[in-house]
Structure 1
């Protein structure tokens, strides 16, 4: 298999990986609001963070030590897909309560969230196996993950399923395809198979990744990753709900983007595809501190522009600008952070270190963030006839202020490495 071929294989994997998520991540909030569950949206998004506290780390340890990462990727996607089919079946009922649908959804995301780190490990392993540069060659491959996300969410929107249970079946379909496809990817070696020496309990369990906290610079990086991770899922959970809420106002009846919120939000993912290409240049030229600061400023703008925008012209321009800024906010943090961790850790703990990064961002950060965000939303809005209406400007300005405080603290405390190891 040549370099072009392996890149194509990884492109296919990344496309499917994020198509699974794109089918429901943006539109699920609108679906829940339409079922009168707007006050519980935060719990569905925060549980993604809760399971990310331990599942990526556990699965990463297994992938590092016992089960090849590409096989673990296949198993996780199969479990997630079967569970998501159950979510779709329950969601198809005319009425259902929180505890009917939430446990199955939790099982699905518990299996899916570790695959975000696993897919990175599979990609990095394959690229190094064929003597390719991860910093240079991975971002163009990762772009197709964003394209998969866009294709999936637009399909759900244009088919009229963004407020229906069909979105969960779409996600399950992508997941089953990827489960089969992952089994054909290059094998990822496990540490046990590569070494005949006896290992202590800590090393055998893959817990050496947590030793990265001994280094002040890495500890600060992970802590601020957690604090910035608070912002990650907020617009995923509430953007569709916010835009769709304008439907109850007579002045916004028939406005295109009110009826097709996913289409407007998809501009965020389109922005990602371009911003990923900027990462190698910015990382090599400016370093991780500047890149992270740019991401934090972008989050401030992301929320602030939501606060002053509406789905109708001319204020829709502010929402469009917010979607464009999102590419910088997400990629300069998530993708750059993953590459930074990969370069700073030993290859023997690669999957564990990626799992740790996921734990801090999509785990602790996102779960705390969504619980807090739901509290803020509930203080300023209420569900009326399937729409979450109220003072959304105050909601978005609150989130913008938080991101600004985190950015200032990071600028003061985090120091760029001054010399190579």
Structure 2
């Protein structure tokens, strides 16, 4: 098997594990009577992302080859996720928040670092084989999104969307990748050379960038926009599935196959990555970021106005604009940080960008969204009132995204130079 094919298999499984539950866990929690805790489950991914990737990154740099650590982390994550599934299956309708959340949190603590580890393994293996990482890695990484989509569809087709079997599906895939990782080529370990401190690994050195007004504003707005990142992962599936309790929509495809509908978002994400170089060069970072922000307004607003029946086109359009909302912010923001920071702190600056967006932003966003959903949705007595409440909640999120976009347009000063190569690596 060629090096590229082996890495494609790794990336496919890496994100298939996540796709098994990320978009459907909210619906299971609703069925298990834990709807008011959805935000806590998704916020935990942000909490562990603040420190676990950095800590295990140092371990991989100094002591354990990255491919072995990748395998160990996946096996540990699979063990705890499998235990969560086993507990939930045994408890039936009596699932308690404490045990399920503890087992899930331990699994996520070991899984989240594998995202960075899998990238490190891919880079090391490609370099060891004399390949060009800039040219060869993106086509390999795309298969990760394919794996995520396939796993979502399997979860949907198997009827796991509202069942704890999605955790078992995740665990099985984790065991497969955990074992497979040990067969990958050896990655180098630096036991004698320069060692990155925990301060550098966490991206804390880059906090000096806050002394620059433009960068401070950029990072603050990155956090504010990061609030939107996990909202639809946690709440889109429970929202769409809730229409099954309304006779008018009970038999519609969307209400019964929310994961299949949501998978269009990942398809859009895959395609929109290809547009970024053109848009950045043509319009510059400020306009591209504004496109992402207004795409979030549309993403949420279309959810608030649509339904799985005659309004299903709004859901589909919401899935399509997700690619712009997610990629134009995450990828373009990362490129901007890379191109505007000194090479000495560039890695730390990327770490800070991740902390502000996928750490603090996503954590605050999911917990804040839970408060909004509890207020508008789960405080209502009837299914019809809850569906109406969902509409109000999504429009509230759209209003938030709109305010952030308008403030960014006014506050962030940036003059685009089309001659500048903003997409350099």
TM-score norm. by structure 2 comes to 0.86
Displacement of 1:48: 1.3
Aligned partners of 1:399, 1:34: CA distance in 2, in Å?
Answer: 24
Task: Point out the more displaced range, 182-191 or 161-170.
Answer: 182-191
1:238 aligned residue:
235
1:325 aligned residue:
321
| Matching residue within 387, 403, 406 for 2:404 | 406
1:19 aligned residue:
16
Aligned partners of 2:123, 2:415: CA distance in 1, in Å?
Answer: 24
- What's the secondary structure of 1:251's corresponding residue? coil
1:360 aligned residue:
356
2:219 aligned residue:
222
Q: CA 1:266/1:349 → structure 2, altered by over 3 Å: closer, same or farther? A: same
Displacement of 1:172: 1.0
1:122 aligned residue:
121
2:156 aligned residue:
157
- Answer yes or no: is the 8 Å Cα contact 1:66–1:190 preserved in 2: yes
| Matching residue within 201, 204, 226 for 2:197 | 204
The 5-angstrom pairing of residues 136-175 of structure 1 reads: 137-175=136-174
2:393 aligned residue:
395
The 5-angstrom pairing of residues 241-390 of structure 1 reads: 241-313=238-310, 315-339=311-335, 355-382=351-378, 389-390=387-388
Task: Point out the more displaced range, 94-103 or 116-125.
Answer: 116-125
Displacement of 1:368: 0.6
Consecutive unaligned residues in structure 2, runs of 5 or more:
none
Aligned partners of 1:350, 1:186: CA distance in 2, in Å?
Answer: 28
Displacement of 1:64: 3.9
- What's the secondary structure of 2:315's corresponding residue? helix
Displacement of 1:352: 6.0
- Answer yes or no: is the 8 Å Cα contact 1:228–1:296 preserved in 2: yes
| Matching residue within 52, 67, 77 for 1:80 | 77
Task: Point out the more displaced range, 60-69 or 345-354.
Answer: 345-354
Consecutive unaligned residues in structure 1, runs of 5 or more:
none
The number of aligned residues is 410
Q: CA 1:360/1:34 → structure 2, altered by over 3 Å: closer, same or farther? A: same
Q: CA 1:261/1:346 → structure 2, altered by over 3 Å: closer, same or farther? A: same
- What's the secondary structure of 1:163's corresponding residue? coil
The C-alpha deviation readout for 1:342-401, integer Å capped at 9, x for no partner, is 666788988766554432222111111011000000110127699964411211111112
2:32 aligned residue:
35
- Answer yes or no: is the 8 Å Cα contact 1:53–1:359 preserved in 2: yes
Aligned partners of 1:416, 1:80: CA distance in 2, in Å?
Answer: 45
1:10 and 2:7 are equivalent in the alignment: yes
Displacement of 1:61: 3.3
Q: CA 1:376/1:386 → structure 2, altered by over 3 Å: closer, same or farther? A: same
Aligned partners of 1:416, 1:175: CA distance in 2, in Å?
Answer: 46
Aligned partners of 2:291, 2:216: CA distance in 1, in Å?
Answer: 20
Aligned partners of 2:31, 2:17: CA distance in 1, in Å?
Answer: 22
Aligned partners of 1:191, 1:6: CA distance in 2, in Å?
Answer: 23
Displacement of 1:273: 2.0
TM-score norm. by structure 1 comes to 0.87
Q: CA 1:243/1:285 → structure 2, altered by over 3 Å: closer, same or farther? A: same
- Answer yes or no: is the 8 Å Cα contact 1:80–1:175 preserved in 2: yes
Displacement of 1:286: 4.3
- What's the secondary structure of 1:370's corresponding residue? helix
Q: Does 1 or 2 have the higher relative contact order (CA < 8 Å, sep 6+)?
A: 1
Aligned partners of 1:176, 1:27: CA distance in 2, in Å?
Answer: 21
Q: CA 1:168/1:350 → structure 2, altered by over 3 Å: closer, same or farther? A: farther
1:132 aligned residue:
132
Q: CA 1:283/1:66 → structure 2, altered by over 3 Å: closer, same or farther? A: farther
Aligned partners of 2:222, 2:313: CA distance in 1, in Å?
Answer: 30
Q: CA 1:359/1:178 → structure 2, altered by over 3 Å: closer, same or farther? A: farther
Aligned partners of 1:79, 1:172: CA distance in 2, in Å?
Answer: 10
The C-alpha deviation readout for 1:16-47, integer Å capped at 9, x for no partner, is 11101100011111111011211111111111
The C-alpha deviation readout for 1:150-176, integer Å capped at 9, x for no partner, is 100100110111111111111111112
- Answer yes or no: is the 8 Å Cα contact 1:13–1:182 preserved in 2: yes
